[in-house]
């Protein structure tokens, strides 16, 4: 049964609330969080490890322990679900390494993609963090032309600046991002 976007958002908000309350010392909220995560993680691992029921349960337990022991690393300002599924993905990768299992390259994406679109949410957050280091004009120009697919004329109109200003902003913004990613 598919979960609608409003239902998913409500679930994610509830998980985050329990996580934050758990970080503040509410043991009941922490227990509710871990209890609610168990079936989600079971589903996550079961889809990636067909026919490996014992491994699924082991991975669920390992992930719950990791989430509990590493909860202090969670950033309260960010969504909780992408963080939790990242922990699960790392546990899955560790599992494959322990077993020395290989996954055919064409199936790799299906194995590592996070559940319910959280990977996309995480990527959006990473993108926004990268663009946050640029000037507003450069970030908007890149967002409009490279992400939203607007033409330079449409982006100029949306920003209220000239077309050449959009082109320069995109060029300088991408150059700054490349330098930052290279560590310069």
Q: Tens digits of per-residue pLDDT, 76-132?
A: 999 999 999 999 998 988 888 777 655 555 555 555 554 455 555 555 656 677 777
Average pLDDT value over all residues in the chain: 82
155 class by beta-carbon count within 10 Å (0-12 exposed, 13-18 middle, 19+ buried): buried
Q: Does residue 162 surpass a pLDDT of 60?
A: yes
Confidence class of residue 134 from pLDDT cuts 50, 70 and 90?
Answer: confident
Average pLDDT for 33-60: 87
Kindly state the percentage of the chain with pLDDT values over 90: 33
Q: What is the DSSP secondary-structure string of 33-90?
A: HHHHHHHHHHHHHHHHSTT-HHHHHHHHHHHHHHHHHTGGG--TTS-HHHHHHHHHHH
With CA atoms as reference, report the closest residue to 40 among 73, 67, 22, 20.
67
**In this predicted structure, what is the pLDDT of residue 100?**
67
Residues counted in the chain = 184
**In this predicted structure, what is the pLDDT of residue 114?**
46
The number of angstroms, rounded, from the C-alpha of 72 to the middle of its chain's C-alpha atoms is 18
Contact status, residue 111 vs residue 48, Cβ threshold 8 Å: yes
With CA atoms as reference, report the closest residue to 20 among 71, 92, 58.
71
**In this predicted structure, what is the pLDDT of residue 123?**
55
The pTM (predicted TM-score) of the whole model is 0.55
127 class by beta-carbon count within 10 Å (0-12 exposed, 13-18 middle, 19+ buried): middle
Classify 133 as helix, strand or coil: coil
Q: Does residue 53 surpass a pLDDT of 80?
A: no
CA atoms within 13 A on the CB side of 147: 14
CA-to-CA distance for 111 and 113, rounded, in angstroms?
6
Of 3-17, 53-67, 77-91, which gets the smallest average pLDDT?
3-17
């Amino acid at each position: 049964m598919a979960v609608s976007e409003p239902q998913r958002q409500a679930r994610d908000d509830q998980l985050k609330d329990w996580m934050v309350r758990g970080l503040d010392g509410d043991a009941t909220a922490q227990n509710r969080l871990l209890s609610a995560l168990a079936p989600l993680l079971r589903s996550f691992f079961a889809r990636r490890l067909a026919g490996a029921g014992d491994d699924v349960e082991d991975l669920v337990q390992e992930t719950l322990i990791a989430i509990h022991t590493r909860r202090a690393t969670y950033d309260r300002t960010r969504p909780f679900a992408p963080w939790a599924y990242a922990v699960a993905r790392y546990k899955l990768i560790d599992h494959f390494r322990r077993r020395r299992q290989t996954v055919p390259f064409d199936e790799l994406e299906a194995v590592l993609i996070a559940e319910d679109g959280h990977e996309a949410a995480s990527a959006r957050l990473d993108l926004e963090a990268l663009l946050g280091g640029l000037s507003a004009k450069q970030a908007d120009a890149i967002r409009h032309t490279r992400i939203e697919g607007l033409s330079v004329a449409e982006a100029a109109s949306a920003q209220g600046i000239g077309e050449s200003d959009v082109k320069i902003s995109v060029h300088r913004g991408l150059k700054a991002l490349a330098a930052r990613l290279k560590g310069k």
